[in-house]
């Protein structure tokens, strides 16, 4: 692990760091699965062994956050405690238990001329992660990148710098102990915003950028990057309650998707209800949402059924509230629901509550989102929930990867072709 | 198929075209494999039936090329004849015969809470292809995009405009006949360079850009695009002749890789020879290359063995000659060969000629290229040669796809999750 203190020659230093990361990625690619798993388990142990330093560093960040009067949601994401450290360690152990995603034979075939072609999974190379306040992202990203054979360059938010550095010191010690190059994990220990701009031009060394943060940060990275970017713009997720749906199930799913953790991307923002059940379903549903502290905004039909609601405007349909707010619309049928989702949604996660198998299939096929659900909460769109151990991010892009990204999504492939002297006629 | 004559409101028209392409992609996604195959076979027939119009249009382009004194290689790529039309038709038929890449279950698993997750292949959506002079790209791209359920926007080079339009008219007729929306295939019938700049901002509608052409065009597209781009920069391909290699095999592979078609990306540009066989191997090898009209440039050791060669400079090692020129270097061992290729190559296609299985495996694992070969010519890096029917391009990127891209590479996936009321605790 390489810690970067930026001084004078910013560009030169970053080029050097990125080049060393590239070289280290080649060393890591040759490390056996067994050794990688041993190192990961030792990282987990070391995080628990280093908990005092990590929590002390986190206390400094929390103190600074209080001085800066940063918001409650921010502090909630930043704060570490023993339970959260245990979760970080458990993610690393879970990643160690998962199958190595590299060097897998994806497909093999033989051509008429005798050439034997295999498509084999390989690491991507060097991955740059730009993230904000959550310190667990540091260990999750190190774990996933390490297991998938990728060098990683971490650029965390300045408000979590002490916590991130403490976690990184622990991981650095583990790499040293196992004789692995420090450049397998690099940490940009600088709050100079120019550092990111420089890194985004280094497409010779860095193969992928994953910005994790607000939509404007991500658009900035996309506009400036010469390196391919996998993006997560926002989560405008929907629940559609179909005609004939089980009311109790629909109510539980909607409350869970809205209320359990409203500040995250896989929380629901818009409820669509089939016109045939709107009158029976909406009054109780909206009452229970309001009881849970949710502000409900309705379209014309919803407001006819339940009086006194705020108006849902055109803008509401594409807004990610990240808050206890829900927009509600009554739709004619499943076709209108699908059109609405494809038109206003963010291709993230959408669910249908239904007892009708034909409609379930139609929804799964026609809704153009990374994760499409039948009879379950959208809150499951998450690497850990999917069984990936952790996630490097969630993609709302369509290229390379969609939805929660775990180990497999951190690989690419090469074609391995064996012949016995074949030439092209 | 939609033909676009750009007049006044360039941006407005292109937004409209891209939006209609998006809508058409949703219609196409619902078309059955059987119908897609029928349409593809009829496209093949229609190209042969329309050969007179297509060849007449091509004659116009060739006449203009002569007036403009465009180069021989350019004219060779532009020229159509009955045989080339038959090849275009045969590619469409081959694509019809291939398995539908969409709606395939890639992987399924059940979580402890009972959620059943499937990763299912789906079309990418709308694909923009920017290409230059080869008219067969028009039918190849239409065939591959159509079969994989993607709408396509074609922007061909102005010097092939008559040929491309004639091919497109034929395909348009087929879409009409089968009642499919014309916007499944759009053709930008404008030579206004601004059209490309506008299209590259329409990431709301277009999901992928594939520029096919010279490196500077591709870098321009990358710099301006808000849409993900899959790039093919260049092909600096290598042959490494290992200690103990079969001389006859090595000579045949090198001659084939250099001479059979020097103007293409998978031709070899640098020959690396193990020091132990350099003195025995190089004199005959270089003589046979020179007999075939190849200019050989050598490093110091090569020039000690064969006198009178031009010097290969540092710049040569990373140059894509696309011509009858070859740079030659004597290396100490396979490690130096691998380092040279990873350092100077373009991650395209590289081959080792060897009888040593350990070295073969080392080369296949450590050379960081899209296609790595043992004992075969690099000229096989090609969608048709790989059995993909045709190719939409060759990627030297690492994200989403590497090497020749066929039907499978024109798909992405979604997660389909079925529950029975699961909520997140």
Inter-CA distances, A269 with A243, A306, A318, A325, Å: 20, 19, 9, 7
What pLDDT is stored for residue A314 in this prediction? Answer: 97
Q: Residue B229's pLDDT band (boundaries 50, 70, 90)?
A: very high
Nearest to A261 by CA among A285, A237, A282: A237
To the nearest whole percent, how much of chain B has pLDDT over 90? 90
> Residue A218: closest CA among chain B residues belongs to which residue?
B226
Cβ distance B376 to A230 less than 8 Å, yes or no, reads: no
pLDDT in tens, B252-283: 999 999 999 998 999 999 999 999 999 999 99
Cβ B23 vs Cβ B151: under 8 Å: no
CB A416 to CB B372 under 8 A? yes
Question: What's the pLDDT score for residue A1?
Answer: 44
Contact A415 B370 (CB under 8 A): yes
- Chain B residues lying within 8 Å of A415, measured CB to CB: 370-372, 381, 386, 402-403
Q: Which residues of chain A have pLDDT under 70?
A: 1-8
Q: Strand (E) positions, B68-190?
A: 105-110, 116-123, 126-130, 151-155, 185-188
CA distance A18 to B58: 49
Distances in Å between the Cα of A388 and the Cα atoms of A42, A112, A149, B102 are: 20, 39, 16, 24
pLDDT number for residue A132: 84
Residue-wise pLDDT for A329-363, tens only, equals 999 999 999 999 999 999 999 999 999 999 999 99
Q: Where are the domains of chain A?
A: 2-231+400-418, 237-384
Q: Mapping DSSP to helix (H, G, I), strand (E, B) and coil, where does residue B240 land? A: strand
Interface touch A253/B402, C-beta < 8 Å: no
* pTM of the complete model: 0.93
Nearest CA of chain B to the CA of A221: how many Å? 11
Quote the pLDDT of residue A214: 85
Determine, for residues B376 and A421 on separate chains, whether the beta-carbon distance falls below 8 Å: yes
d(CA A214, CA A206): 22
Question: Distance, in angstroms, between B364 CA and closest chain A CA?
Answer: 7
Across the interface, do B385 and A413 touch by the CB < 8 Å criterion?
A: no
- pLDDT tens digit string along B133-160? 789 999 999 999 999 999 999 999 899 9
Three-class secondary structure assignment of A4-19 = ECCCCCHHHHHHHHHH
| Chain A, chain B: beta-carbon pairs less than 8 Å apart | 189
Task: Characterize the bridge pairing of strands A116-123 and A411-422.
Answer: antiparallel
- Closest chain B residue by Cα to residue A246: B421
Calculate the alpha carbon distances from A305 to A276, A283, A311, A330 in Å.
12, 7, 13, 10
Q: What is the pLDDT of residue B1?
A: 44
pLDDT of residue A37: 98
What letters, b where the CB count within 10 A reaches 16 and e where it falls short, cover A199-228?
bbbbbebbbbbbbbeeeeebebbbeebebb
Residue A248 CB neighbour total at 10 angstroms: 9
Q: Tell me what percent of chain B is helix, strand and coil, each rounded to the nearest 5.
A: 45, 20, 30
Q: B77 pLDDT exceeds 90?
A: no
Residues in chain A: 425
pLDDT band at B71 (very low <50, low <70, confident <90, very high): confident
Which residues of A are less than 8 Å from B378 in CB distance?
none
CATH number of A2-231+400-418: 3.40.605.10
Q: Rounded to whole angstroms, how far apart are CA atoms B95 and B91?
A: 6
Nearest-by-Cβ selection for A414 from B230, B376, B402: B402
Distance CA B16, CA B5 (A): 13
ipTM of the complex: 0.94
By C-alpha distance, the chain A residue nearest B253 is: A423
Q: Can you give the three-state secondary structure of A356-395, one letter per residue?
A: CHHHHHHHHHHCCCCEEEEEECHHHCCHHHHCCCCCCEEE
Contact across the interface for B419 and A373, Cβ inside 8 Å? yes
Which residue of A94, A200, A376 is the best one to mutate when testing the B interface, meaning the one whose CB has the most B CBs within 10 A?
Answer: A376
The reply to whether CATH 1.10.10.10 applies to domain A237-384 is no
Residue B65 has pLDDT above 90, yes or no: yes
Mean per-residue pLDDT over chain B, rounded: 95
Asked if A30 lies within 8 A of B366 by C-beta distance, the reply is yes
CB atoms A421 and B246 under 8 Å: yes
Output the pLDDT for position A345.
97
**Region at B114 (left for phi over 0; alpha for psi -120 to 50; beta for the rest):** left
B166 to chain A, closest Cα gap in Å: 31
């Amino acid at each position: 692990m390489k810690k970067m203190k930026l001084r004078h020659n910013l560009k030169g230093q970053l080029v050097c760091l990125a080049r060393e990361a590239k070289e280290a990625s080649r060393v890591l690619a040759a490390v056996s699965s067994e050794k990688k798993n041993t190192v990961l388990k030792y990282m987990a142990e070391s995080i628990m062994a280093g908990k005092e330093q990590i929590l002390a560093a986190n206390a400094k960040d929390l103190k600074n956050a209080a001085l800066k009067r940063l918001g409650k949601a921010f502090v909630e994401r930043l704060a570490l405690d023993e339970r959260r450290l245990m979760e970080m360690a458990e993610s690393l152990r879970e990643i160690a238990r998962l199958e190595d995603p590299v060097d897998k034979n994806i497909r093999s075939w033989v051509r008429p001329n005798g050439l034997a072609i295999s498509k084999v999974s390989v690491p991507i190379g060097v991955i740059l992660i730009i993230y904000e306040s959550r310190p667990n992202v540091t260990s999750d990203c190190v774990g996933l990148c390490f297991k998938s054979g990728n060098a990683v360059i971490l650029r965390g938010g300045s408000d979590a710098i002490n916590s991130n550095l403490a976690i990184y010191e622990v991981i650095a010690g583990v790499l040293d102990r196992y004789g692995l190059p420090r450049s397998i994990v690099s940490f940009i220990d600088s709050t100079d915003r120019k550092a990111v701009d420089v890194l985004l031009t280094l497409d010779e060394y860095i193969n992928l950028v994953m910005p994790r943060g607000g939509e404007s940060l991500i658009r900035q990275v996309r506009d400036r990057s010469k390196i391919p970017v996998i993006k997560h713009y926002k989560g405008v997720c929907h629940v559609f309650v179909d005609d004939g749906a089980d009311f109790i199930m629909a109510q539980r799913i909607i409350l869970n998707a809205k209320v359990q953790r409203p500040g995250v991307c896989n929380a629901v923002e818009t409820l669509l209800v089939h016109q045939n059940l709107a009158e029976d379903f909406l009054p109780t549903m909206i009452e229970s949402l309001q009881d849970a502290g949710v502000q409900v905004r309705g379209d014309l039909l919803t407001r006819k059924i339940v009086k006194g609601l705020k108006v849902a405007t055109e803008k509401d349909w594409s807004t990610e509230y990240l808050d206890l707010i829900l927009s509600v619309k009554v739709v004619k049928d499943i076709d209108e629901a699908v059109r609405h989702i494809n038109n206003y949604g963010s291709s993230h996660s959408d669910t249908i509550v239904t007892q009708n198998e034909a409609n379930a299939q139609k929804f799964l096929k026609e809704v153009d989102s990374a994760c499409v659900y039948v009879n379950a909460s959208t809150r499951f769109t998450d690497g850990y929930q999917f069984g990936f151990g952790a996630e490097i991010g969630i993609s709302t892009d369509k290229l390379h990867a969609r939805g929660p990204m775990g180990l497999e999504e951190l690989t690419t492939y090469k074609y391995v072709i064996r012949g016995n002297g074949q030439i092209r006629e």
